[in-house]
Amino acid sequence: MLNKSCVAIVAALVALPHACLAADEPASACVDVSTPKSAIVARHGRWIELTSAQWQFLRGVYVVNPNTPPGLPYGDKAVLAQVEGKPGGLVFFIDGEMACTPMEIPQALLTMVQDVERTAVNHVGTGL
């Protein structure tokens, strides 16, 4: 239960500036990277920088995710925040020193992200 609340708190920290300011500027959807990173580390979580291929993969997921704003996420890299006891994680898109547009990912998607890192190809299916 504490782990779910930790992820909720971190997501709120990132979302609050945008909701409170109601600004149309991209920076309003971002907070200093130290804010969510400190919250995750304080709860003995892991802050993992993702590869360029994983970042590109997750940008595509972000675009088709009905729970994220329209368009591509900010930044040029991404990190995965995980806390013990929670099977998935929270992805932050990083723009310079800012953590932006958090996106929660379930375990199934996390497995795919790890496959992208290993360049594992899964050809399950019956074909055309």
Q: What is the DSSP string of 56-87?
A: HHHHHHHHH-TTS-SSPPSSSEEEEEE-TT-S
DSSP H helices in 1-128: 2-21, 34-42, 52-64, 107-118
| Residue-level pLDDT at 100 | 95
Average pLDDT, the chain: 81
Segment 59-73 mean pLDDT: 93
pLDDT tens digits for range 74-88 = 999 999 999 988 889
> What is the C-alpha to C-alpha distance for residues 32 and 29, in angstroms, rounded to an integer?
11
Give the predicted TM-score (pTM) of the model: 0.74
Give residue-wise pLDDT tens across range 28-44.
589 999 999 999 999 99
Cα–Cα distance between 2 and 112 in angstroms, integer? 26
